[in-house]
Structure 1
Amino acid sequence: MPQRTAGPLALAVDIGGTKMAAGLVTADGTVLAADRIATPRPAPGPDAAAEVWAGLRAMLERLTAAAGGRPITGVGTSTAGPFDLAGATVSPVNITAWRGFPLVDHLAEVVPGVPVRLAGDGVCAAIGEHWRGAGRGHDDLLVLVVSTGVGGGLIHGGRPFTGRSGNAGHVGHMVVDLAGEPCPCGGRGCVEALASGPSMVRYALREGWRPTGDGTARDLADAARGGHPVALAAFTRSADALAAGIVSAAAMCDLNQVVIGGGVAHAADLLFPPLKEALARYGRLGFLSGITLRPAHLGTDAGLIGAAALIHAPDPYWPATPTR
């Protein structure tokens, strides 16, 4: 339950392919109460979108009740992409039930009469880390979220750079292997197709790794720490793809600060050494050398805190997001 202290709250929402989270966040970025659910996986059909929304709505109603009458001044939302800022709809690659889903309008029904603001999960992670995390003091910054997918967000000149549709910085769908594997987005050779947790596991299974636990990226990390050569190769392969995407983004945007979060980044001891080596190998031009890597400081709360900043700190984070 949140503390009974003064000041308004933001209802922050973070939607991903594996989990959905929500929290009550204060104006200084403190998460007072939070809840998480596994992202629903309904069978395909006409009711699938509504089933996913029902799970999220129930969690949001629990949190609004937990506010205990303390004012909620807005709903900030971080979502996996792609999405349509102008139409305020979402079509996350890893939530197949939602295609053109009118998320902002649904959220407005839960907390009527307050702004509902939307940004991509990578953008919100970037905002969160810039506002209260590892990116403080760095106004030209790339933040990557390496998890079920690979999200990305850019801070340029102290402000989020989201582009025409709101999807700028989506490094996970930069093509780094022209003859590469299929990606969940429908393309081939994307960073996500090589570097995400599920992609790493698929590669390792194909190469002969046999899980001793739950068969997730966490299990793969345990095997790599134990010296399993295929598991180690999966992390090196992921690092190579991430490095290619990072260097390409740096060449385009002239940045040298990168923060990496997400579930796979919890294995920074396995990912960062080959990633730094690959960055040095790919970034041969002078302005691409010396890219600084930092692990995210906010952990799984980065998206929530970034989403809350859309409400609590609209300047400089508000201009690129829609409202209802």
Structure 2
Amino acid sequence: MNHVLAIDIGGTKLAAALVDASGSVLRSATRPTPRQQVMAALEGLIEEVTRDGPEPVAAGIGCAGPLDLAAGAVSPVNMPSWRGFPLRDEVRERTGLPTVLAGDAQCMALGEHWLGAGQRSRALLGVVVSTGIGGGLVLDGTPVLGPTGNAGHVGHMSVDPYGERCECGGRGCVERYASGPNLARWALENGWTPGLASSNRRRPNEPSPDRGAPSSDEVIPDAPSGDARTLARDAAAGDSVAVAAFERGARALAGMIVSTAAAVEVTTAVIGGGVSQAGPVLFGPLEAALDDIGGLGFVRAVEVRPTTLGVRAGLAGAARLAWDYSRSAS
């Protein structure tokens, strides 16, 4: 059976896998992303995955952007050692394989369309809500990459032209309201004390006078930090500022989803990334905001779903990218 080499590159993790045409993974491996010598680490990872295995027929890469698709180059914001780095050609030269490149969030969307929550959707928007916000569009089974490879940067759609200045230089970007660090930043600026709402919950192994040991959802870390994970826990515990932060972020996400649906008639939006693990404290206000903001029938018909592949979506999309490329080249 033939396989392709799938590669997923982010600011914190490198991943690679051998994947067959059905999406089954023969073998995979991950490594932390080093600050320097990233290509050397990636080469070692590729060697680990392919050693003594079947020869892949092509390689697909999903990488954080921005991208220059024509040149096959990448300049990931969180990887300062790569600026205009010719990633596609470097992988092609080291592996000898036909190699294709796309953005990591574009691969997430393609992976969810192939194997995850977006199967059978004719018009899919995939959104990664994490340290930043990325996205990708899959229309009639084909990823929309754009002239330079940067289509789907929905995190930098403006939902308020008079809003806050974003780190990208724009104003009112979704990322400024709904990314993990910005959710926590706004909450801290508005009086949130991390962990306070859940401090009345018992510590691990602390017995209850009424019903024994605490359940797992009552366990909190000993030293809460002011991050999105703690914010989600406090929102679930009823902290009013934490709840307001997620409502504010969800409304920005809803504005972006509605605008995208109006532009390209998206029928499904799949939400992944670390912040999506907040569960109901994110998806509850998101559904409410979509219902309030959406007007036209085809816009209101967008179905929002959480990821089913999780961190595997990027590799799945890179594999599908490679399979499609190998078939078109043959």
Work out whether 1:117 is the aligned partner of 2:100. Answer: yes
Q: What is the match of residue 286 of structure 1?
A: 297
Q: Tell me the alpha carbon deviations over residues 157-187 of structure 1, each in whole angstroms, 9 at most, x when there is no partner.
A: 2222222122222211111122333433332
Q: 1:8 aligns with which of 2, 10, 33?
A: 2
Q: Secondary structure at the residue paired with 1:188?
A: coil
Give 1:305's match in structure 2, choosing from 316, 321, 326: 316
Given the alignment of the two structures, is residue 30 of structure 1 paired with residue 40 of structure 2, yes or no? no
How many angstroms does 1:89 deviate by?
Answer: 0.4
Task: Provide the rounded CA distance (Å) in 2 between the counterparts of 1:260 and 1:31.
Answer: 23
Question: Residues 38, 193 of structure 1: CA spacing in aligned structure 2 closer, same or farther, 3 A cutoff?
Answer: farther
> Which residue in 2 is equivalent to 1:232?
243
Q: Which blocks of at least 5 consecutive residues in structure 2 are unaligned?
A: 195-222
Change (3 A) 1:24 1:240: same
Q: Where do 5+ consecutive residues of structure 1 fail to align?
A: 1-6, 43-47, 320-324
Q: Does 1:149 align with 2:154?
A: no
Matches of 1:229 and 1:96, distance apart in 2: 38
Q: Is the 8 A contact 2:122 2:267 kept in 1?
A: no
1:17 aligns with 2:31: no
Deviates most, 28-37 or 152-161: 28-37
Is 1:196 aligned with 2:179? Answer: yes
How big is the shift at 1:214? 4.3
Give the superposition deviation at 1:210: 3.4
The equivalent residue for 1:105 is 89
Distance 2:170 2:85 in 1: 22
Deviations 1:83-116 (A, max 9, x none): 01100001123333322111112212331x2111
1: distance between equivalents of 2:32 and 2:239? 30
8 Å CA contact retained: 2:117, 2:308: yes
> SS at the partner of 2:188?
helix
1:257 corresponds to which residue? 268
Give, in whole Å, the separation in 2 of the partners of 1:214 and 1:19: 22
Shift, 1:237, TM fit: 1.6
Contact in 1 for aligned 2:2/2:56 (Cα 8 Å): yes
Maintained 8 Å contact 2:126/2:271: yes
Indicate the structure (1 or 2) with the bigger Cα radius of gyration.
2
With normalisation by structure 1, the TM-score equals 0.86
Identity %: 51
**C-alpha deviation, 1:315, in angstroms:** 8.5
Which position in structure 1 is the counterpart of 2:258?
Answer: 247
Question: Residues 31 and 305 of structure 1 are in contact (CA less than 8 Å); yes or no, is this contact kept in structure 2?
Answer: no
SS at match of 1:92: coil
Q: Which moved more, 1:89-98 or 1:142-151?
A: 89-98
Aligned: 1:185 with 2:185? no
Q: Which moved more, 1:269-278 or 1:26-35?
A: 26-35
Which AA in structure 1 matches 2:3? L
Distance 1:282 1:190, change over 3 A: same
- 1:65-144 to structure 2, matched below 5 A, reads 65=51, 68-111=52-95, 113-144=96-127
Distance in 1 (alpha carbons) for counterparts of 2:79 and 2:259: 28
Contact 1:60 1:110 in 2 (8 A): no
Q: 1:62 to 1:214 in 2, by over 3 A?
A: farther
Structure 2 CA distance for aligned equivalents of residues 9 and 206 of structure 1: 50
Contact 1:240 1:274 in 2 (8 A): yes
- Determine the C-alpha separation between the residues in 1 that align with 2:167 and 2:16: 25
Shift of 1:139: 1.2
| AA matched with 1:78 | G
Q: Give the whole-Å Cα distance in 2 for the aligned partners of 1:170 and 1:307.
A: 18
Helix, strand or coil at the partner of 1:73: coil
Question: How does the TM-score come out when normalised to structure 2?
Answer: 0.84
- Quick check: 1:9–1:26 contact (8 Å CA) kept in 2? yes
Deviations 1:48-79 (A, max 9, x none): 5xx333333333332222xx231122211111
Q: How many pairs does the alignment contain?
A: 301
Distance 1:301 1:201 in 2: 26
1-structure distance, mates of 2:188, 2:43: 36
Report matched runs for 1:35-74 at 5 Å.
35-40=29-34, 42=35, 48=36, 51-65=37-51, 68-74=52-58
Deviations 1:218-249 (A, max 9, x none): 22222222222222222112111111111111
Q: Is 1:160 equivalent to 2:143 in the alignment?
A: yes
Give the whole-Å Cα distance in 2 for the aligned partners of 1:72 and 1:266.
Answer: 34
**Do the aligned partners of 2:121 and 2:267 also contact (CA within 8 Å) in 1?**
no
